[in-house]
Structure 1
Amino acid sequence: MLSGFTDNVQALLLGTNIGGLGTPIASLASLISLRIYARMPHAQTGRYLLWFCVVNICLLALLLFIAFILF
């Protein structure tokens, strides 16, 4: 959707990948997975959100580090 506004495809892909990390609200797929999980019997939504945020923040830090090294 944004590709028509830029010629810098590499930066667009990097920004899209980094922008999808962090919180469940950052990605529609994350919200869908949270909703599916919440419907499961014995779901621990709070624990899921905590684990989700920890993993995503670690991946965000890793991608930002790699981005700063490459660019």
Structure 2
Amino acid sequence: MADTYIASDGDMIDAICWKHYAKGQQALAVERVYEANRGLADLGPILAAGTVVILPDLPDLPAPAAIPIVRIWG
């Protein structure tokens, strides 16, 4: 079920997505939020207070793979 977010003055969609969605989901979140909120992109990157943003559910994605550490010296 989608959540609803009421923007504070100066909020930005990417920052809202960073706070709301789990790690590993942020890569698709901004695009999906704009798809769920037609016309939101026309408001510009910084939202006015009171702007209603629908935060859709995203599919569960696998956790990102661990990156091995390569030691050059020692």
TM-score where L is the length of structure 2: 0.27
Greater relative CO (CA pairs within 8 A, separation 6+): 2
Which structure has the greater CA radius of gyration?
2
Higher strand proportion: 2
Higher helix proportion: 1
TM-score where L is the length of structure 1: 0.28
